[in-house]
Structure 1
């Protein structure tokens, strides 16, 4: 009887093992189906690249969670409440992208100031569907941008955008739009055409973009192609004089941080080294770029709130990129052709943490609103930008990228900046709505 008993035990063990294996297989398939419904952008690493057109990141993000609705990620409702024609007030930064066949207010043919790297139509991008969407806040209507209304508000005024190449991207969008109805003349540019100023004579309006990627005092070392040749020296408690010396000339300012802070840097406070990010000196404390980002944002917003100059200030939140399956220099790309819906994507850790710092510093600064007639508003474009992976130049950052005979040549993608025209044009609508409802023009 022993052989028969052993056979039964062996068969019983085999049956249990098979059942366990099948259950494990089904659990794995279920997890794969659930996790595949969300987009996870490829982790990217730090490299010293030119930041005008590409971006680098620091550490691989941890698992991305669903959906982008946590309290510290959602657009703030403070100071973003608006209404239109008697409608109930709503947060204009909470909404969805909906189809709109009316098309852009300008094209590459009607605006000749679009930089090559954002001129997707001229560069040969074949699809046009990315132009057929508009931002629709939940609970109210956002009027289409009216350049005449904007210029009427800006009559005898000046507006400056202070920051990096995303600021320049936005200024080009605004310039292209207002130049459709009024002559705008370039009256200044710096040596590298990074800072510019235009004047609209018929409204006596001055529009400026001031190149200051850190907004604080910095010394950078780059070659002719913009690639870093040495580590940046960054003073976190001293502002960049390139914009502070002009500050009293501006009636409106838009400021923002950005991805330049991810670059390797040595940090100074009171002209003394306090630490660094990604430096190789063992005698210097590794503080990380989040430390520097908070300090710099705090310095900028404190300066604005303590200034005796009456100004209307907008603080724009971080702009996420959409590189997938690699980095900008390792084959990462962005070839999607439609917007995401809420719940399909979330901020990666770096963008999430930078945004958290921005919101905390904004709340601290706005809590100290002065009685000097200053206005500080949160220009919270992060979430609506996150939903537009289709709006970047991608390979069409260069003219006819596939014209090369060698099809194996790697083509660099730009998944950070925006095509012009493109989704960034909606930022003008949001800004005008905030200006119209501000009551202080």
Structure 2
């Protein structure tokens, strides 16, 4: 009799727990995760960067000598709900035997690097393999057969070498063949679209049959997103593949944007912007991305990380990146750091 009562009690507790978990994820689905503020949480960061052996020098701020650690202890608190922690083992179970690919520029590499660390540190003694062939890196957790690819493709559309020079083809996306057959795709492009003169990686822009030395960069960006959107609609089976677009990741080179005009770019910043509103302007690409996504027929989820990242003027490598004191980096993000929250949001969207 006691055993039967205990069993009934246990099953009721289990049912309550499952209902509670379901309610959490239903709440997440109805909550705008892009609105909120950063709060101190002693249980953060989500992992110790020193236990992730493959962090690239560019992002490895602690190993590069960054003296402060407070930036690691901030948690994103959405205004309308709580954001559950990233559960690496649950993520691995959900994607067991499956493949994920990140496609984009070095900000995409930042997020990919974060996810590889989140997964690797989720359990002790996980077996992994990390390889690179050409522009594609492959990170594999062997215990679960999970592959996380990175395709270094800054524009999504094709950049090719021809006799006339390097041509950025806004209507061509032949590289898309590398993205087919994945279970999840995370895309990004923007950072390189405004580089000019010697820093721009092309000589000509091709639009249809026209070959141009230059054009309005926002128009070029939107045209390329339209080409990519066409690829999503024709090449992606939404019953087999989830598609995300990583929102615009901002930089912090002008202290006036966060009401510190005397700031030396992002160097020495140790705390986020307080509150939930960024005082400066938002990147103009944000509106272009949202407009482009609205025209795609297949489901594409915007990973809207712009506001939460704008508030993190303290999260960049600054002089603790690949260039050291001679190369101020207020564009990329320290690992561990802000991109872990991007992946935490990605995970919770998947679960919900």
Q: TM-score, normalised on structure 2? A: 0.82
What is the alpha-carbon distance in structure 1 between the residues aligned to residue 225 and residue 75 of structure 2? Answer: 30
User: Which of the numbers 157, 164, 172 marks the counterpart of 2:98?
Assistant: 157
Does the Cα contact within 8 Å between 2:266 and 2:316 map onto a contact in 1? Answer: no
Aligned to 1:336: 269
Residue 113 of structure 1 deviates from its aligned partner by: 0.8
The structure-2 alpha-carbon separation of the partners of 1:376 and 1:387, relative to structure 1 and needing over 3 Å to count, comes to same
The structure-2 alpha-carbon separation of the partners of 1:231 and 1:92, relative to structure 1 and needing over 3 Å to count, comes to farther
State the structure with more CA Rg.
Answer: 1
Q: Which has the higher helix share?
A: 2
What is the alpha-carbon distance in structure 1 between the residues aligned to residue 174 and residue 185 of structure 2? Answer: 15
- Please say if 1:422 is aligned against 2:337: yes
The structure-2 alpha-carbon separation of the partners of 1:86 and 1:197, relative to structure 1 and needing over 3 Å to count, comes to closer
What is the alpha-carbon distance in structure 2 between the residues aligned to residue 359 and residue 83 of structure 1? Answer: 29
Aligned to 2:223: 295
The C-alpha deviation readout for 1:350-383, integer Å capped at 9, x for no partner, is: x1x2111001111121xx23xxxxx311111111
The structure-2 alpha-carbon separation of the partners of 1:142 and 1:325, relative to structure 1 and needing over 3 Å to count, comes to closer
Moved more, 427-436 or 257-266: 257-266
Does the Cα contact within 8 Å between 1:316 and 1:381 map onto a contact in 2? Answer: yes
Does the Cα contact within 8 Å between 1:394 and 1:413 map onto a contact in 2? Answer: yes
What is the alpha-carbon distance in structure 2 between the residues aligned to residue 271 and residue 114 of structure 1? Answer: 43
Does the Cα contact within 8 Å between 1:320 and 1:347 map onto a contact in 2? Answer: no
Aligned to 1:61: none
Residue 184 of structure 1 deviates from its aligned partner by: 1.9
User: Which of the numbers 312, 317, 321 marks the counterpart of 1:397?
Assistant: 321
What is the alpha-carbon distance in structure 2 between the residues aligned to residue 237 and residue 110 of structure 1? Answer: 43
The structure-2 alpha-carbon separation of the partners of 1:155 and 1:291, relative to structure 1 and needing over 3 Å to count, comes to same
What is the alpha-carbon distance in structure 2 between the residues aligned to residue 176 and residue 389 of structure 1? Answer: 23
SS at match of 2:232: helix
What is the alpha-carbon distance in structure 1 between the residues aligned to residue 285 and residue 25 of structure 2? Answer: 36
Aligned to 2:148: 207
What is the alpha-carbon distance in structure 1 between the residues aligned to residue 191 and residue 132 of structure 2? Answer: 24
Aligned residues: 310
Aligned to 2:6: none
SS at match of 1:238: coil
- Please say if 1:315 is aligned against 2:263: no
Does the Cα contact within 8 Å between 2:25 and 2:348 map onto a contact in 1? Answer: no
- Please say if 1:190 is aligned against 2:114: no
Residue 200 of structure 1 deviates from its aligned partner by: 1.6
User: Which of the numbers 301, 306, 324 marks the counterpart of 2:254?
Assistant: 324
SS at match of 1:149: helix
Aligned to 2:33: 92
CA RMSD of aligned residues (A): 2.4
What is the alpha-carbon distance in structure 1 between the residues aligned to residue 27 and residue 145 of structure 2? Answer: 33
Matches within 5 A, 1:21-420: 84=24, 87=27, 89-180=30-121, 181=123, 182-186=126-130, 188-191=131-134, 194-219=135-160, 232-241=166-175, 244-264=176-196, 265=202, 266-273=204-211, 275-277=212-214, 287-307=215-235, 309=237, 310-324=240-254, 332-340=265-273, 341-348=275-282, 351=283, 353-365=284-296, 368-369=297-298, 375-398=299-322, 401=324, 411-420=326-335
What is the alpha-carbon distance in structure 2 between the residues aligned to residue 198 and residue 298 of structure 1? Answer: 30
SS at match of 2:193: helix
Does the Cα contact within 8 Å between 1:96 and 1:135 map onto a contact in 2? Answer: yes
SS at match of 2:341: helix
What is the alpha-carbon distance in structure 2 between the residues aligned to residue 297 and residue 156 of structure 1? Answer: 30
Unaligned segments of structure 2, at least 5 residues: 1-21, 197-201, 257-263
Q: TM-score, normalised on structure 1? A: 0.66
Residue 255 of structure 1 deviates from its aligned partner by: 0.5
Unaligned segments of structure 1, at least 5 residues: 1-81, 222-229, 278-286, 370-374, 402-409
